[in-house]
Structures are given as structure tokens and as C-alpha cells.
Amino acid sequence: MREQDLVLGIDIGGTGTALGFVERSGALTQYCAIPTRPADSAEAFVVALHRRIEALRAEIPFPHRLAGIGIGAPNAHPVRGTLEEPVNLDWGATVDLTALVRKYYDLPVELTNDAKAAAAGEMLFGGARGMKHFIVVTLGTGLGCGIVADGRVLTGASGFAGELGHMTVDPNGRECRCGKRGCLETYVSATGLVRTVLALLAKRCDPSPLRRCAADALTAHKVFELASAGDAISLCAFDRTARILGMKLADAVACLSPEAVFLSGGLAAAGDLIVAPAGRYMNDYLFRAYRGTVRLLPSALKPGEGAVLGAAALVWRRLAAEDAFGRKEGAA
């Protein structure tokens, strides 16, 4: 049987990493998620990642050839192949992730920001198919943003266009791991939601099952479960999160005039607790000229899949270009 070319797509988040093998058609196989932590260095993480990749390859039920690797990761610089100040990873100021991966795989490696990869995935395989102007906001450990204008993912002069998570909500607000205060992701993210809950518990006296949770054991998923069960403090935390998100999305719409804004990531999976109220708040804060012109939608792809597919698509595009002039690199 003829070997089938596959590209490995990887989405590295502050808490978890998703990966899967992607066919040229966009079909995804052997998808899985692994913890990003507790690896205390990029080197240790790549060792664990390599082991998982090879275990997954052994499970692929047909002859295949790994043709390249696409990676979406926080603070990725696509030209340098490095992660610059990845504050949610604790791996140091600059990480040459491309070089670390190529110690194991002498293949084409494409590195991009995780939210930009999610935007590419949404454009090619998700709810943004046919759109030329849209924004993808990823809500996980932090908050990422990928911007598509005229059908192209924006990178900007620095390569870091779209750092919506570090727009300022309150200059005297919460400390952010980037060194600033009051960044959007300190309020709107899985960790931001937990910080809001802890602040409410300290300020309010009403009973809540949350009071039985140790602060260091509290998770956004637990808050979601209790909000779904009607807990007042959990519901208030989600509403405050949605309000701040809606306000800042209205600012982004004023600057970019997209057709739609997509929410993806673990926190976006809270559904009606975050998407619907954020949409209402966004419309409340929108400049009147934009009202009725933009929709806030959940991603049409599963959490993690958008960035995996988008990162892999970057490699497929590179391979197609190289095929036109003769393949430059081999395959494993």
C-alpha cells in the first residue's frame, strides 16, 4: 500500500497541548491532548512531546510518511522560529522551539502564534469559511487573538499583531505575568475567571459551595459546573467576565470592522454562560455604525482542533509551494 503523507499539527497552550495528524484534505486523525505542564523547561516538554508523537504514529492504521510539523504556540515569532517572552509557559525569555523540535525531526517546521493558527483553522475548516474579515479570540489559560483581514492572517511589523489579551482594562488593576497591570487576560481567561471568583468570595458574604474549595484547587471548570447549577457567585463571575470581554470586543470591532468574532478555547466551551452575554455586552458598547454588522459566534471547531488544523495547513501550503520548484527537504 502506498504511503500517505501526513502533517503533524500541534497547539501548545499554557496548561494543555493538543496534537493530531492532518491529511492534505484537512481530515484529522489520532488527535489527542497532553499536559503542557509540569515540564519545567522547553527541552523537557519537547522530550515528552516526542515520545507522545511516536506513540501516536504507531497507532496510525495505514502506511504513512510524516511530511512536516506545524506548531501554534503563545508569543511565537514565525520568522525567527522562536517563542518570545511566553509568559504563560515559564520557559524563559526566548525559546528556540523550532530548533528543539528539529533535533528529533529533520522536516519542514512552521511555527506561528496559537491564536493565529486557530484563525487559519477557522478560515479553512470552520465557521469562517467564505469570510474575509473576522477575529478569533482564544480563551484558555490566557487570551489570544488572531485577526484575518482581506482573507489573510495579520502578523504586523513585529510579527505579534493581535495581542488583544494585553490591552489594558484597568491600569491599576490585576498584575499580569507580562509585567503590566490590568491586562484583559487577567480578567477574561480561565485564570481570570478564577481570580474574579476569589475576589467575589472575599467581598460577599452569601453562601456558596465555592467556599468549600481551596483557592489553589479552584478551576474554571468547577466555576462552570456551579454556575450551571445556579450558584450566584459563579454566575456573577461569568457575567463580569462576559461584560469585560464584550466591552473590549466592541473596541476591536471599532478598529477592524470584522464580519464576525469567533470565541474558541476551553472557557468558550461554557457556551451560554459566556458567548451569549458577551454578545449582548458587545452590542451595548458598539459604536452605532457597527450595530447589526458583526456577529459573535462560538468556534465551529472543537477546542484545540482549530489551531491544530491551522498549524498543519501552514505546512501544507509550504509543501505545495516547494512542490512547484522541487521539494527542498526530505520526509520521515
Per-residue 3-state assignment (H helix, E strand, C coil) for 261-276 = EEEECCHHHHHHHCHH
Residues 241 and 108 in one domain: no
Cα gap 43→47, rounded to integer Å: 6
DSSP codes joined into one string, 250-264? HHHHHHH--SEEEEE
- pLDDT higher than threshold 90 for residue 38: no
pLDDT in tens, 200-209: 999 999 999 9
Which residues touch 164 (CB under 8 Å, ≥6 apart)?
137, 143, 144, 145, 184, 248, 252
pLDDT tens for 300-315 read 998 779 999 999 999 9
71 & 173 share domain: no
Tell me 186's DSSP state: G
Q: Assess whether 170 and 210 both reside in one domain.
A: yes
Sheet of 82-84: strand order equals 76-77, 82-84, 94-95
Same domain, 309 and 273: no
For β-strands 109-113 and 134-139, DSSP reports them as unpaired
H or E segment and range at residue 216 = none
Spatial contact of 297 and 260, defined as CB atoms under 8 Å apart = yes
53 and 101 inside one domain: yes
Q: CA angle at residue 246 from 244 to 251, to 5 degrees?
A: 100
CA nearest neighbour of 97 among 182, 12, 207:
12
Q: Burial of 50 by CB count in 10 Å (0-12 exposed, 13-18 middle, 19+ buried)?
A: middle
Model confidence over 94-126: pLDDT tens digits? Answer: 899 999 999 999 999 999 999 999 999 999 999
* Residue 275 backbone dihedrals phi, psi, to 5 degrees: -70, -50
Residue 60 is placed in which grid cell?
496510525
Q: Is the pLDDT of residue 9 over 70?
A: yes
What DSSP character marks residue 138? E
Estimate the share of the chain in helix, then strand, then coil, as percent rounded to the nearest 5.
Answer: 40, 20, 35
pLDDT score at 107 = 95
β 64-73/28-35 pair status? unpaired
Is residue 184 located within the same domain as residue 206? yes
Cell of 32: 489527542
Domain assignment of residue 125, yes or no? no
Residues 12 and 104 grouped into a single domain: yes
| Residue 287 belongs to some domain of the structure | yes
Distances 236 to 173, 214, 278, 281 between C-alpha atoms, Å? 19, 19, 13, 14
Identity at 229, one-letter amino acid code? A
CB neighbour burial string for 139-177, b if at least 16 within 10 angstroms, e if fewer: bbbbbbbbbbeeeebbbeeebbbbbbbbeebeeeebebb
Residue 120, domain member (yes or no) = no
* pLDDT tens digits, one per residue of 227-279: 999 999 999 999 999 999 999 999 999 999 999 999 999 899 998 999 999 99
10 domain-assigned:
yes
pLDDT score at 323: 74
Same structural domain, 161 and 241? yes
The answer to whether residue 95 is domain-embedded is yes
Domain with residue 77: its CATH number is 3.30.420.40
Question: Beta strand 260-264 with 134-139: parallel, antiparallel or unpaired?
Answer: parallel
**Residue 153 reports pLDDT greater than 90:** yes
Confirm whether 74 is domain-assigned: yes
Task: Count CA within 13 A, CB hemisphere, residue 198.
Answer: 17
> Are residues 293 and 308 part of one domain?
no
Query: Would you say residue 139 lies in a domain?
Result: yes
pLDDT at 320: 85
Report whether 65 contacts 306 (CB < 8 A). Answer: no
Same domain, 260 and 156: yes
Instruction: For cell 474579515, name the residue.
Output: 133
Q: How far is it, in rounded angstroms, from Cα 111 to Cα 182?
A: 29
Domain of 221? 130-298
**Count of domains for the chain:** 2
In this structure, the answer to whether residues 286 and 139 fall within a common structural domain is yes
- Confirm whether 134 is domain-assigned: yes
pLDDT value of position 1 = 67
Whether 294 and 317 map to the same domain: the answer is no
